[in-house]
Chains A and B, each alone.
Chain A
Amino acid sequence: MKALFSKKSLIVFGVYLLVAGLFPFFGSDYFLSVGIIMGLHAIVTIGLSLVMGYAGQISLGQAAFWGIGAYTTGILTTKWGMSPWFALLIAALIPAIAAFLMARAIAGLQGYYLAMATLAMGFIVQIVFGEWESVTGGMGGLVGIPALPLFDDLGVDFYYLVWGMVTLVLLFSLGIIHSRIGRAFRAIHKSEIAATSIGINVANYKLLAFVLSGLFAGISGGLYANYMGIIDPQPFGLHESIKFLTMVVVGGAASVWGALLGTILIGSIGEVMLILSEHFPMLKGDMDTIVYGAILVLCIIFMPEGLVPRLQKIMAKRQEEPLPAERKLGA
């Protein structure tokens, strides 16, 4: 826990609070909505970073849990007339349960096989959203999802709700990482066999990572449904899953701050591309996919650990602290 409250991490946290807190005062309504969507994405990617960076697994279907959260809120509020707050609670739980079931079902899969299974799961969920018309409204989706009471102007209030949630999720994840559980995660990431040999129940910890990622995605999905008011199957597919993956990889999977930074970075690039395409018509089309693809490729080749861990390494070098290995020897 010491590392969590070190001077450095408090400074980082202070800067984060300042930027996130002051952002609404410097932008237009449009930027506010961009900030809200970024916050919603960040909640998902922080969960995904627990799965990828800490437990060392991969999920190519994270958008499915996000979608399950959104659809839970959508169905419960529009078809069952449930209160949005209560629906949000259930929207967090159902994806967590779905993640639990999925993780149990694909127990024992590794590497490419795990990638395939999560990919398949993502597709199945999206197809069900589109085909189960009587419940999900099919391709037309659900309309008229009510906003959350107390936050129903969907402006600055909602922004603070979303980023408050991001902060909670962030602190919760940091707490986990700096606890016994986090050390177990890292041990699993390094070597599952070694982790098993020192008495870590690898299966349970992996399950926990998936369930937490499902929970976070569900919270974000539920809020997304409240914010948009309408949902359809389109944003909950492979494209979005890969976008989440890109955000985590760029920022650095083995760092919760990395997931947050990656989300903001990729989100900003998307916005910049949008603005550029207005001024340069030839950039219209899939310019942003080219940029995302290039970022992924360059990142894996030149900076496989991601932005934040790389920055940490550079900072550590500059301060000429002893290397972790030396510190261990000295102790």
Chain B
Amino acid sequence: MTDFFQFLVNGLVSGGIYAIVAIGFVTIYQVSKVINLAQGEFLMLGGLIAVTLLGTGMSYGLAFVLSVLMVTLIGMLLQRFVVRYGPMSNQISLIILTIGLSILIRGVASMFWGKDAYALAPFTSNEPITFSGISMAQQSLWVILAVLLLLFVFWFLMNKTLLGKKMYACSVNLLATRLMGINPNKMALLAFAMSAASGAIAGIAIAPLNVTSYDVGVMLGIKGFSAAILGGLQNPIGVTAAGFLIGLVEAFGAGLISSGLKDAIVFLLIIGVLMIKPTGLFGEPSVGKGGL
């Protein structure tokens, strides 16, 4: 039973991070139909910039805020100067473009930080919390808290503000959106800013749980992409659920079957779901079929 709760906690922590990354994917996708495969790099940059800023003797709070701001700026620059000029009508070219971006960012990061692993201090003490046999790092609580907070902010922005309505409008009908005086480019810029910021926060929150290095973004990005696809790319609640599902499957797979096979189990699950439902668990059925 203790094992069960231990796996549950682990699954919820990593699942929460995947959910945040997935929401980042969906936010950008909804506004501009771009899947930004460089999303994982935002998490890497968040963690590593925070490490560097802390190294200069800055206070934790300031380092946190500054690194989130810097990553947000990087995200906006990427949209403004690269992605905006991408071939918007061709999904395959867009995938390749953002893969290129992610390789580029990772390469530049490896020049700045080398290939060493860095440890970021946890937000509060290193002492684990033990509760009837289940031990949990304090940082895990912070991660869950950060995830819940981000989920709430996203929900609030998208559902309760005019800005959210404008961004949603872009995904419904681009031409009509333009005619209503909304600038889709501006909305896409905003979407990149939002996913970069949320990515940076998630990246800083999980960095203390494990070491961080220039290549942590690869797997986080791919798992987030998996969650976004599994959830169907359409609604944020669906991909959040998919994120947690992937985290839980991974944690229980690692605990009950084999830790080496945990990723294979997750990917098998995704292929299995896509075979049955080609647009993910919560995606709209595709209109007009022309597949294999």
Question: Which residues of A pack against B, CB within 8 Å?
Answer: 52, 56-58, 60, 103-113, 115-117, 119-121, 123-124, 127-128, 130-131, 192-193, 196, 202-203, 206-207, 238, 242, 245-246, 249, 285-297, 299-301, 304
Residues of B within 8 A of A112 (CB): 35, 91, 95, 229, 233
Besides A105-B275, A108-B292, A115-B35, 7 more A-B contacts (Cβ < 8 Å) are A106-B292, A113-B279, A124-B271, A193-B288, A245-B99, A285-B111, A300-B97
**A5 vs B202: C-alpha distance in the bound complex, in angstroms?**
58
- The prevalent SS among residues of A at the interface is helix
Q: A123 contacts B263, CB within 8 Å?
A: yes
A-B contact pairs, 20 of them (CB 8 A): A106-B275, A110-B290, A111-B92, A113-B280, A115-B92, A116-B225, A116-B270, A128-B264, A131-B264, A202-B291, A203-B291, A238-B218, A246-B100, A285-B111, A286-B111, A292-B103, A293-B100, A296-B97, A296-B104, A304-B93
Q: Which of B112-141 contact A (CB under 8 A)?
A: 114-115
**A242 vs B100: C-alpha distance in the bound complex, in angstroms?**
9
CB-contact partner of A109 in B100, B267, B274, under 8 A: B274
If A245-B96, A304-B87 touch, whether A290 touches B111 (CB-CB below 8 Å) is: yes
**A304 vs B93: C-alpha distance in the bound complex, in angstroms?**
8
If A127-B260, A127-B263, A131-B264 touch, whether A301 touches B97 (CB-CB below 8 Å) is: yes
CB distance from B33 to the nearest CB of A (A): 9
Residues of A within 8 A of B288 (CB): 193
B110 lies within 8 A of chain A by Cβ: yes
B160 lies within 8 A of chain A by Cβ: no
**A17 vs B26: C-alpha distance in the bound complex, in angstroms?**
49
Residues of B within 8 A of A110 (CB): 91, 278, 286, 290-291
Q: A287 contacts B92, CB within 8 Å?
A: no
Most chain B CB neighbours (cut-off 10 Å) among A130, A249, A295, A296 = A296
**A52 vs B92: C-alpha distance in the bound complex, in angstroms?**
9
Q: A294 contacts B292, CB within 8 Å?
A: no
Q: A111 contacts B103, CB within 8 Å?
A: no
User: Who on chain B is nearest to A298 by CB?
Assistant: B100
**A76 vs B20: C-alpha distance in the bound complex, in angstroms?**
45
Residues of A within 8 A of B99 (CB): 242, 245, 296
Q: B290 contacts A297, CB within 8 Å?
A: no
If A245-B99, A300-B93 touch, whether A116 touches B111 (CB-CB below 8 Å) is: no
Most chain A CB neighbours (cut-off 10 Å) among B104, B225, B233, B289 = B104
Q: A300 contacts B274, CB within 8 Å?
A: no
B183 lies within 8 A of chain A by Cβ: no
Q: A297 contacts B106, CB within 8 Å?
A: no
If A111-B92, A296-B103 touch, whether A286 touches B110 (CB-CB below 8 Å) is: yes
CB-contact partner of A119 in B222, B268, B275, under 8 A: B222
Q: A103 contacts B292, CB within 8 Å?
A: yes
Q: B96 contacts A296, CB within 8 Å?
A: yes
- The prevalent SS among residues of B at the interface is helix
B2 lies within 8 A of chain A by Cβ: no
Residues of A within 8 A of B290 (CB): 110, 192-193, 196, 202
CB distance from B100 to the nearest CB of A (A): 3
Residues of A within 8 A of B286 (CB): 110
User: Who on chain B is nearest to A102 by CB?
Assistant: B271
- In the complex, per-residue mask of B74-114: 1 if CB is within 8 Å of any chain A CB, else 0: 00000000100111001111011101111111111011001
Q: A289 contacts B267, CB within 8 Å?
A: no
CB distance from A59 to the nearest CB of B (A): 10
**A291 vs B280: C-alpha distance in the bound complex, in angstroms?**
35
Q: A109 contacts B110, CB within 8 Å?
A: no
**A113 vs B273: C-alpha distance in the bound complex, in angstroms?**
11
CB distance from A193 to the nearest CB of B (A): 6
If A285-B111, A296-B96, A300-B93 touch, whether A120 touches B270 (CB-CB below 8 Å) is: yes
Residues of B within 8 A of A120 (CB): 226, 267-268, 270-271
**A130 vs B260: C-alpha distance in the bound complex, in angstroms?**
8
Q: A293 contacts B267, CB within 8 Å?
A: no
CB-contact partner of B92 in A58, A202, A293, under 8 A: A58
User: Who on chain A is nearest to B85 by CB?
Assistant: A301
